[in-house]
Structure 1
């Protein structure tokens, strides 16, 4: 059985364009949350930094994450994000179990 996958994704919007990131996430989130294997898909704005965000994702398996990455809505979102993002997102995959 595959282990759940946990990701922390660091996103920086272009200066003054954080609201565009929020709007894009608000449109995308319900679609992603409805995908098979999506356990969590939540974005948080960094306190006192309106153009920085942390996206937390949890997937039931590597296969569910791979299927998510290949969906038309994610391909479209990835193609649109350079219009308001300062660069590629930094994706951090966590180990399955928390320490201590």
Structure 2
């Protein structure tokens, strides 16, 4: 399995737009083949930090996800509005 923790740092004026795009990404991605878990979290202590936590069956499923229309549309939208940092774990 593969787990990605995607940390998103966003300015207050862009936070709502990022959250809307992230929620849309989550909803679509949960339907992707090989998706075990996919969710977005808001920090309880830092209003400028969100995190998408995703778990995939294998590298093939993750690669297929990265080529879906929702990924190729929404991720660049989020990247335009915020900073993203990705942690990847394989287990």
Report the TM range for the smaller structure's normalisation: 0.7 to 0.9
Computing the radius of gyration over CA atoms, which structure comes out larger, 1 or 2? Answer: 1
Q: Aligned to 1:16, what secondary structure does the other structure show?
A: helix
Alignment gaps of 5+ in structure 2: none
Cα distance between partner residues in 1 of 2:61 and 2:52: 17
- Let me know the Cα RMSD of the aligned residues: 1.4
Which deviates more from structure 2 when the two are superposed, residues 55-64 or residues 26-35?
Answer: 26-35
Task: Give the corresponding residue for 1:14.
Answer: 11
TM (norm. structure 2) is: 0.88
Q: Could you say which structure has the higher helix fraction?
A: 2
Structure 1 segments unaligned to the other structure (5+ residues): none
8 Å CA contact 1:9, 1:56 repeated in 2: yes
Give the TM-score normalised by the residue count of structure 1.
Answer: 0.81
Question: 1:60 is matched with which residue: 57, 82, 85?
Answer: 57
- Count of aligned pairs between the two proteins: 91
Considering fraction of residues, name the structure with more strand.
Answer: 2
